[in-house]
Amino acid sequence: MASPSISIVCPCYNEQDVLPAFTAKITEILSQTDFTYELVFVNDGSKDNTLALLAEMANKNSHIRVVNLSRNFGKEAALTAGLDHASGDAIIPIDADLQDPPELILDFIREWKKGFDVVVAKRIDRSSDTWAKKITANLFYKFHNKIANVEIPDNVGDFRLITRKVVNAIQLLPENQRFMKGIFSWVGFRTSVVEYVRQPRAAGETSFNGWRLWNFALEGITSFSTAPLRIWLYLGVFFSSIAFIYGCVIVFKTLIFGIDLPGYASMLTAILFFGGIQLIGMGVMGEYIGRLYMESKKRPVYITDDTAPKPKEKPE
């Protein structure tokens, strides 16, 4: 019986500087296993020579397959495209920057052989990140897991092994706005954890800045929780109760002591405060309405461009 195959899925955006080193390292690691393998690179609308380099590498290496997206759709869409095009019995998403050590793949395979459908890599040291990123990441995981229906493991990214069964389950989820960390957790299955220390980028620069990370966090929270909407119901009840009690106090004082001179400053402050509260609530509702609007269009998650090199026949 033929050995099960492994698919390495690598979304790429402007990764020309690191691709040769990444491919060499992955090939070295996978050659230590008894499995056949393929390297599925997804070019996510790169503006440098990433696509040309991938085409050259694919012509020299029959293990390499290239999926070229018609524009930059974002990492979540590129990862989805890679999972859709991977043919292995086990699929391993990994970034090309070599921050996630490819050596961990051997540990993934050992856990897979034990019968686990999902093997996740958990970072135990984030010293390579800035202090701001470490703090905000910890806050995000704690806040998300408090309010969401699905818990995302702390310090676990997309680097993991998932079996074909898990990929088939992920492909049943139809949403266009995709938060893959949440999707991976939502489908479940038997999971093992491998701990590791993340390294600095081998080359190039990350495309994620503070604003994109903030939007990414909002995407994760609104994808798997309606708690932000529920909070405004509680706030409304709270402030309405205070207003009712305060109104009763005013009526009582008026009946007993008469009418005082109106306090214009305090009234203006209260109006501005509650107006701000209402605008924040409308903004939260707008986030969910916007998601409904985008999902109602039923647009595809990504579109491929056939100018990429055609996949070669799978090696024996």
Handedness of CA 286, 287, 292, 295 (dihedral sign): positive
The domain segmentation of the chain, as residue ranges, is 5-209, 227-296
The whole-angstrom distance between residue 101's C-alpha and the CA centroid of its chain comes to 19
| pLDDT tens across the length of the chain (316 residues) | 345 689 999 999 888 888 888 998 999 898 888 888 899 999 988 888 888 899 888 888 888 899 999 888 888 889 999 999 998 899 999 988 888 888 899 999 989 989 899 998 888 776 656 666 667 666 766 766 676 677 777 778 888 899 999 999 998 888 887 888 888 888 888 889 888 877 655 554 555 555 566 566 666 666 666 667 667 667 777 776 776 676 677 667 766 766 655 665 566 566 767 776 777 777 777 777 777 777 777 778 888 887 655 555 544 4
Cα 291 to Cα 100: distance, rounded to the nearest angstrom: 32
How does DSSP classify residue 37?
A: E
Torsions phi, psi of 26, nearest 5? -65, -45
This model's pTM is above 0.75: no
Q: Where are the alpha helices (DSSP H) in 40-179?
A: 50-60, 75-85, 104-113, 131-147, 164-170
Q: What angle do CA 177, 214, 71 make, to 5 degrees?
A: 45
For 5-209, give the CATH class. Answer: alpha beta
Cα 41 to Cα 193: distance, rounded to the nearest angstrom: 25
